[in-house]
Structure formats: C-alpha cells, structure tokens
C-alpha cells in the first residue's frame, strides 16, 4: 500500500494535442511538435502519455506509463514519421492505471486505421458498452475512449464525419476528442463545452490542443476555441467545421479556471491568471480578518493570493517554497512519512512567517490532510495566527465528467461544516469564497459553467 501526496488535490482529467502538417520540413517534425505540446500540457496528467503519427498510409504509435520526458525519447520520435500527429497525457478517471489504457488508442476498422485521444468521461459508458457487446463488439481496455471507437466502428459504412456525428448522438457526458485517420485530423467537443479544446495555426498548419498555452509553447497562433458541439475536420484542403449538436446551455468546467489550467492559458475567452486574481480579490471583499501578510500555497494559490493582497492592501510574501523538481511522489502511509512527503513538496521560510498574523490562500480543500500539514508547518515556523482562505466554495460533490475526485464521503466538506474543517486543519479561521462571489469574479451568473462539485447540479446528468 502506498500513499500519494498529491491525492489531496483534485486530479485533472487529461491533455490532448494534435497537428496536421501539409509539408513538414523533416519527417519527424509533426511528432516532435506534438512532444513539446504534450510537455506543455503535462500538468493535466502525469500517469501515462503517447503519440500517434500518420504518414498517409499507416499510423504508428508510441505510448507508455510515466511523464512525457520519461516515456518519449529522441529515438522514439525518430521512428514516428508522418505529417499528422496526435498526443495524449493521462490521469486515469474511467478505467484504471494500466498501459492498456494509455492513449492515444489506435484501431483498425472497415475504412482503415484510426487513432483517438480523449479528455473527459462518458456518463453512459457502461450502458453503451453493454449494448455494443450485445452487437458483438470486443473491448480490450477499461476506458470509455474505446466505447467511442466502437461506436464509430458501428457506423463505419458512413464517412468518418458521418460516423462521428452519429456516435455523438449516442454519447452523453463530457468529452473533447482528437481523432486521426491516415489522412485527416478531427476535433470534437461535447455539446455543453464542459471540456476545453482550441485551434491554433503554425506556418499555415492547423493544431488542436486542450489549452492555448500548448500552442504558445510550439510557436503557434491561437485562432479560436472549438465551439460546444462543433466538429472541425482538418485535411489537405484546410479546415472545415460542422455543428453536430446544440445545447440549451453551456457548462464549461469551472475548475479549469480555479485550478486545472495553466495560468497563461485562455479558455473560452477568459484568461486563467486574470480569473484567479479576480477570485482572490473577491475573497478579500468577503473576508478580511486582521492580519499582517498574505502567502499562497504554491503554485495553484499564487494568483489568487496576489489578487487578495492587491484588494486588501496587505503585503504579499512567498512564505512557502515549492520544490519545482518533485514529480509524483509516493510514500509509505505512516504519519512520519506523510509529513516528510509534504516537506519534500513545500518548505516554509521562517523569516517570513515568524511572529506574523498570516493569511494563507489555496485554490481548494479536498480531503484536508495536506492543508492540515501545511498549517502545522507554518505554525511550527513561528506564525502567530493562521487564517486559511480558499478561492473556491466547499467541494462537496464528486465529478462525473473526467475529473478524478474522491468518493463523496472522502470530500471533507461533505461531512464537516466550515468551523469543523477549520478545527481539523488547525487554522485560527477558515474562509471560502461564496458561490455568488465566485460567479461575480468570473463575470457571470453561473449559467455557462458546470459547478456541480460545489452545488450537486450535474448539467449533463450522471
């Protein structure tokens, strides 16, 4: 049995990236560009990764368990030759942690070969799988991405675009997809736009990515977001678009802005860093205990802490330093080793916090165990008071749309009130931003977001 330090945070679903190059300068250019795109999306999944490449006749694949730089080496890229490439970084949600579930998934079907990279979860995956097995489909993985592939295969007598259009009528839930055949790349987004996907342009070649920061990394220009329910098809003729489905509402995942996405990304017209600062500003308007300094829990609490400091007029300090070279760390489940794991990840600067009334800001509290240990560390370093601030409302409900949340009974806010959580983590006070304040900071009344983890209202069902 092992204990994962990062388990006290919500786990992001996956990251996807693709590029269609008309005339690559070298045969491996598409694969190499995809490697850098995945590296920029590494925060979205650290469990497995892979790249699939088409040369117009055949699709080659390399994937494995681990980080991008551990799995994909230079000699692997040298074997991935072609003008179309798609890639995937994964943290398991549906399915489990196993090589067979690493993506992209590559299949043979009636019209040739197809590769799929998927971010999200189908809420009706089990129902669809049972139906498909009744019709004779065989499944080799435990991920719902294979359900999508089998849906496509059922409609394989149609064109790829028609097969996808019919498949999306059956699929329910949240999904952003990049699909590659021998000569096409297709991007698809669920009708409510829960999971993000955007389009880029690099020297006349089109790209698709979960976040705009990945486009920036490879030198591409952001063009626009894929619209909810839209399918974009990229081939030698360029890009064409088809609206497959329309929903009465949009439901972009609110946690993209709170925690998951890179601060330098723009998603659906909003800059993530700016939104996080606004959340911090709103938090200061709602809660302002007597204090001396503001410190973030890095890195995810940094932008909100800056916004809080600006609004409150209190000095912003780096009281906690994050070990930037620490990957996913697993340690034995003893109290002593758990404390060591937190210290490996974060270290306190006593000279900053000693004798101070500290406002400490984080993006969320999931189980509360890591927050408790951080509070203990800061108090041991000499802080006189610790007021813990959270730039999101209490996380009370699990996610069914591609985020690995704990079961509801493991979410501390589902069984404790704010006063009890404050006592549990050992803070002098604990304050969450209100739901109304969160939506005000994001300049919306909430209709265009999925905030089911806070309110239990699941826009695409369960």
Which residues have C-beta within 8 Å of that of residue 375, sequence separation ≥ 6? 360, 386, 388, 425, 426, 427
Q: Is 198 a catalytic residue?
A: no
275: left (phi over 0), alpha (psi -120 to 50) or beta: alpha
Whether residue 367 contacts residue 7, with contact meaning beta carbons closer than 8 Å, is answered with yes
List 14, 253, 450, 453, catalytic entry: 14
Q: Which of 51, 45, 35, 131 is nearest to 95 (CA)?
A: 45
Measured CA to CA, the distance from residue 426 to residue 410 in angstroms comes to 19
Q: Which residues of 299-330 are buried (b: 16+ CB within 10 A; e: fewer)?
A: ebbbbbbbbbbebbebebbebbebeeeeeebe
Cα gap 269→285, rounded to integer Å = 25
CB atoms within 10 A of CB 380: 11
From the list 164, 59, 69, the residue with the least C-alpha distance to 118 is 164
Identify the sign of the CA torsion 220, 222, 223, 224: positive
Is 188 in a helix, a strand, or coil?
A: strand
- The strand pair at 112-122 and 205-209 is best described as unpaired
Q: Whole-angstrom Cα distance, residue 94 to residue 83?
A: 31
CB atoms closer than 10 angstroms to residue 292:
16
Task: Examine residue 104 and say whether the peptide bond preceding it is cis (omega within 30 degrees of 0).
Answer: yes
**Alpha-carbon distance 30 to 20, whole Å?**
7
Sequence-ordered list of residues with C-beta below 8 angstroms from that of 18, at least 6 positions apart, any chain: 34, 84, 85, 86, 87, 117, 178, 180, 185, 187, 207, 208, 209
237-241 long-range contacts, CB within 8 A, separation 24+:
238/206, 239/199, 239/206
Residue 389 to residue 386: CA distance in whole angstroms: 10
Q: Contact at 8 Å (CB) between 197 and 224? A: no
Q: How far apart are CA 247 and CA 251, in angstroms?
A: 10
| Residues annotated catalytic, as ranges | 14
């Amino acid at each position: 049995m092992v204990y994962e330090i990062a388990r006290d945070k919500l786990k992001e679903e996956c990251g996807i990236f693709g590029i269609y190059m008309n005339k690559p300068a070298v045969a491996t250019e598409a694969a190499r560009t995809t490697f850098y795109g995945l590296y920029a999306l590494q925060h979205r999944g650290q469990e497995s990764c892979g790249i699939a490449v088409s040369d117009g006749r055949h699709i080659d694949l390399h994937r494995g368990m681990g980080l991008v730089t551990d799995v994909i080496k230079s000699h692997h890229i040298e074997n991935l030759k072609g003008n179309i490439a798609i890639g995937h970084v994964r943290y398991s949600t549906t399915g489990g942690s196993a090589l067979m579930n690493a993506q992209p998934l590559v299949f043979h079907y009636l019209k040739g070969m197809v590769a799929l990279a998927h971010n999200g979860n189908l809420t009706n995956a089990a129902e669809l799988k049972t139906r498909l097995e009744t019709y004779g489909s065989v499944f080799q993985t435990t991920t719902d991405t294979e359900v999508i592939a089998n849906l496509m295969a059922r409609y394989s007598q149609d064109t790829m675009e028609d097969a996808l259009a019919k498949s999306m009528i059956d699929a329910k839930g949240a999904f952003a997809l990049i699909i590659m055949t021998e000569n096409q790349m297709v991007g698809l987004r669920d009708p409510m736009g829960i999971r993000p996907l955007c389009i880029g342009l690099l020297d006349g070649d089109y790209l698709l990515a979960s976040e705009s920061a990945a486009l920036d990394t490879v030198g591409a220009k952001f063009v626009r977001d894929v619209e909810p329910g839209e399918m974009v098809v990229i081939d030698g003729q360029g890009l064409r678009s088809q609206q497959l489905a329309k929903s009465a509402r949009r439901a972009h995942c609110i946690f993209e802005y709170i925690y998951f996405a890179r601060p330098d990304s723009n998603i659906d017209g909003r800059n993530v860093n700016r939104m996080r600062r606004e959340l911090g500003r709103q938090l200061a308007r709602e809660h302002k205990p007597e204090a001396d300094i503001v410190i973030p829990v890095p890195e995810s609490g940094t932008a909100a802490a800056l916004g809080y400091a600006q609004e409150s007029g209190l000095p912003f300090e780096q009281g906690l330093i994050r070990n930037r070279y620490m990957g996913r760390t697993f340690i034995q489940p003893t109290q002593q080793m758990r404390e060591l794991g937190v210290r490996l990840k974060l270290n306190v600067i006593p000279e900053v916090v000693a004798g101070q009334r500290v406002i400490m800001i984080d993006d969320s509290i999931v189980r509360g165990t890591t927050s408790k240990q951080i509070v203990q560390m800061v108090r041991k370093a000499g802080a006189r008071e610790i007021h813990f601030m959270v730039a999101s409302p209490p996380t009370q409900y699990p996610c069914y749309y591609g985020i690995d949340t704990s079961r509801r009974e493991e979410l501390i806010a589902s069984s404790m009130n704010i006063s009890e959580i404050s006592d549990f983590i050992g803070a002098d006070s604990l304050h969450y931003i209100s739901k109304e304040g969160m939506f005000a900071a994001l300049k919306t009344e909430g209709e265009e977001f999925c905030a089911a983890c806070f309110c239990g209202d699941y826009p695409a069902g369960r």
